[in-house]
Amino acid sequence: MLRFDSSENPEDFWDNSIKKYQQRAAEKSFPQNLIVTSLMKLAHRDVVLYKGHLENGDFLIITYPTSNHAVKNFIGIGINEREYLADTTVQTYQLDYNQPMTDDFVFDLLTKSHGWEIRDYGDLSGY
């Protein structure tokens, strides 16, 4: 419940209330030098979905679009100690890339550009 502080004028009250619910800009840059102990591809149609674990046991989720027709060109990464938190705290990174994204493109981005080490990889997206 919002409470009006009599020391604020109505405009300040409104502005301060709106600021609480505005999305904040990303605080972290693209994750660098992660060691991924396991990574599993679970979906591959319009949006690719990977789930995995990091060396420290944290959960990892990676999503990206497979075409540029209706989906923005981005890669989403969530990292947290609980799976549901990783799923709900995905950070979106805009990419300057105008071709359909493939596994090879994403793996090159992660391993060559950002220094990730992916130790174990599996693909369940065909089932």
pLDDT tens profile 21-48:
655 554 568 899 999 999 999 998 888 9
Would you say how long the chain is, in residues?
A: 127
73 neighbors 97 (Cβ within 8 angstroms): yes
Beta bridge partners of 118: 36
Looking at residue 71, what is its pLDDT? 65
Report pLDDT digits (tens) over 37-93.
999 999 988 889 999 999 999 999 999 988 755 567 889 999 999 999 999 999 999
Q: What kind and span of H or E run contains 83? A: helix 83-88
Rounded Cα–Cα distance for residues 111 and 34 (Å): 9
Residue 8, pLDDT score = 62
pTM: 0.73
Residue predicted with more confidence, 35 or 18: 35
pLDDT of residue 103: 86
List the single range of 11-20, 43-52, 94-103 with lowest mean pLDDT: 11-20
> Do 59 and 83 meet the contact criterion of CB atoms below 8 Å apart?
yes
Question: 38 Cβ partners below 8 Å, 6+ apart?
Answer: 52, 53, 119, 120, 121, 122
